[in-house]
Amino acid sequence: MKSNYKKLGQFIQDVSVKNKNLNVELLLGVSITKRFIPSIANTIGTDMSKYKIVKRDQFAYGPVTSRNGEKISIALLAEDECLVSTSYTVFEIVDKEQLDPEYLMMWFRRSEFDRYARYMSHGTVRELFGWEEMCDIELPIPCIEKQREIVREYNVVNNRIVLNEQLTQKLEDTAQSIYKQWFVDFEFPIPKEYAKLIGKPDLNGKPYKSSGGEMQYCDDLEQEIPIIFTYSKLNELISHKKGNAFKSSDYVEDGVKIVKVSNFSDKTVSGSTCNCIEYSRKNEFKSYVLTHGDILISTVGSWPSNPASVVGQVVKVPKNMDGSLLNQNIVKLKPKEDAFQNTLMLALSRKVFSEYVVSGAQGSANQASVTLEHLLSYPLIQGDKDTRLSFSRIVKPLDLHRSNIEEENISLFETRKILLKKLAKA
């Protein structure tokens, strides 16, 4: 053990405080992204006095590591207090002047820690990373001033990532709001040609439905739509390509990245966990090559109650994944009309589409799948050509801005990984 490496056990203590007085109501779980998240457990009729209380600057972790995405679920609480299931282990740092909680959480975020936890896990039915194994961890513990300096440096990068994620969400919300106004509420600006056609040129640019735009009933959709709009099934508007079943025996450490459902993350693709094949073999799979902006949908995944990699999840290929390859259980969509690209992504990102996918999905309790026939039969309302082009001109800059921010975040993620790796030399 290096001179500044010490065993964690001398700095932490187990905490097990039950919610006996029912003073705490907020129930959270811990995700493999190492965050506290809202619990999906059904607590109706549950005795909440048996749940554990977690307080600010305390940790909670799930000792079960098998079937957990090769990661350990652990997080540091930033709120005042919450409840967690008794299946979690709660602990705290004995003396924060010896070990900073955020510094320790940085160590837990390292991919090397996940690999260590999996290696040290044991058990027959379930593999566990128990309290003894947690206490036996060896890590560098420099002076508290150095720890806090490292935390500050990390937080500068991390806070920028969080800010960028908030900005991209606002851009997404803005685009979705415009989409709803135009293609759900039908309050898009009346096209000049339509206003002239009905002999009311003064209506040009006014909101369609509230200005008396003519509607027609669509039997298939069981609703009224603007008379200048059409209804189509998804397969009429796009071409599609199913992914290839790559063999795990072909994977190499560095090469062309292969996009799997497990690489889907918040409407984009995370390349950090992708498997690879040799660069020299890329030409063998040229029909499966992805380009920036491609829309991908998972045809196999978990049910919505287990949001790890949900069936019907929709993502867009980012710039840094241009030239990667498409794996099985994913279908790539390409609109027949370029102007429809942004509209399609917004339409398929809506809750109504995910509900449609789930309505036709089948499978076991752990995994769901959906057929291409069901997926591509999704009904879409399509605006007239002028409306489609106008909408594309409005949302394209929003999408470009979001893409630029996401590209910046990719660099920041790499910087964050480098900072976490440097902890070993602290």
Name the residue with higher pLDDT: 93 or 1.
Answer: 93
In terms of domains, do 358 and 244 share one? yes
**Pairwise CA distance, residues 106 & 140, whole Å:** 12
**Pairwise CA distance, residues 219 & 14, whole Å:** 62
Instruction: Look at residue 308 in the predicted model and tell me its pLDDT.
Output: 60
In terms of domains, do 18 and 115 share one? yes
Mean pLDDT of 191-218: 93
- Residue 338 — pLDDT band, cuts 50, 70, 90? confident
Q: Is residue 221 part of a domain?
A: no
Main-chain phi, psi angles of 327, to 5 degrees: -90, 170
In terms of domains, do 120 and 257 share one? no
Mean pLDDT of 54-75: 90
How would you label 406-425 residue by residue, b for 16+ Cβ within 10 Å and e otherwise?
beebbebbebbeebbeebee
Q: Is residue 189 part of a domain?
A: no
Q: Is residue 161 part of a domain?
A: no
- Residue 295 — pLDDT band, cuts 50, 70, 90? very high
Asked if 314 contacts 349 with a C-beta cutoff of 8 angstroms, the reply is yes
Helix (H, G, I), strand (E, B) or coil at 259: strand
**Pairwise CA distance, residues 218 & 382, whole Å:** 13
Mean pLDDT of 221-239: 93
In terms of domains, do 234 and 136 share one? no
Q: Is residue 104 part of a domain?
A: yes
Domain end point (choices 104, 121, 141):
141
Q: What is the pTM of this model?
A: 0.82
Question: How many domains is the chain built from?
Answer: 2
In terms of domains, do 22 and 120 share one? yes
In terms of domains, do 242 and 135 share one? no
Instruction: Look at residue 381 in the predicted model and tell me its pLDDT.
Output: 92
Instruction: Look at residue 130 in the predicted model and tell me its pLDDT.
Output: 94
Tens-place pLDDT, residues 118-165: 999 988 778 899 999 999 999 999 999 999 999 999 999 999 999 999
Q: Is residue 186 part of a domain?
A: no
∠143-149-155 over CA atoms, to 5°? 135
In terms of domains, do 260 and 119 share one? no
**Pairwise CA distance, residues 104 & 108, whole Å:** 7
**Pairwise CA distance, residues 387 & 382, whole Å:** 9
**Mean of the per-residue pLDDT values of the chain:** 91
Instruction: Look at residue 70 in the predicted model and tell me its pLDDT.
Output: 77
Mean pLDDT of 335-361: 91
Q: Is residue 409 part of a domain?
A: no
Tens-place pLDDT, residues 44-58: 878 899 999 999 999
Mean pLDDT of 399-410: 91
Q: Is residue 77 part of a domain?
A: yes
Instruction: Look at residue 151 in the predicted model and tell me its pLDDT.
Output: 96
Asked if 325 contacts 289 with a C-beta cutoff of 8 angstroms, the reply is yes
- Please write down the long-range contacts of 78-82, taking CB distance under 8 Å and 24 or more positions apart: 79/26, 79/36, 80/55, 80/56, 81/24, 81/26, 81/53, 81/54, 81/55, 81/56, 82/24, 82/26, 82/27, 82/28, 82/36, 82/53, 82/54
In terms of domains, do 236 and 124 share one? no
Residue type, 188: F
Instruction: Look at residue 126 in the predicted model and tell me its pLDDT.
Output: 84
In terms of domains, do 137 and 253 share one? no
Asked if 346 contacts 257 with a C-beta cutoff of 8 angstroms, the reply is no
Strands of 59-61's sheet in order across = 12-15, 89-93, 59-61, 74-76
Mean pLDDT of 46-71: 90
Name the residue with higher pLDDT: 211 or 308.
Answer: 211
Mean pLDDT of 399-411: 91
Give the number of other Cβ atoms within 10 Å of residue 78's Cβ.
12
| CATH number of the structural domain spanning residue 113 | 3.90.220.20
Q: Is residue 408 part of a domain?
A: no
Mean pLDDT of 339-349: 91
Residue 309 belongs to what domain range?
230-380
Instruction: Look at residue 377 in the predicted model and tell me its pLDDT.
Output: 95
In terms of domains, do 112 and 238 share one? no
Q: Which of 119-133, 164-178, 353-367, 409-423 has the highest mean pLDDT?
A: 164-178
Q: Which residues pair with 294 in a beta bridge?
A: none
Instruction: Look at residue 124 in the predicted model and tell me its pLDDT.
Output: 75
Tens-place pLDDT, residues 237-268: 999 999 999 998 999 989 999 999 888 877 88
Name the residue with higher pLDDT: 264 or 88.
Answer: 88
**Pairwise CA distance, residues 389 & 283, whole Å:** 36
Check pLDDT > 60 for residue 1.
no
In terms of domains, do 126 and 25 share one? yes
Domain end point (choices 141, 169, 188):
141
Domain end point (choices 81, 111, 141):
141
In terms of domains, do 236 and 375 share one? yes
Main-chain phi, psi angles of 230, to 5 degrees: -125, 165
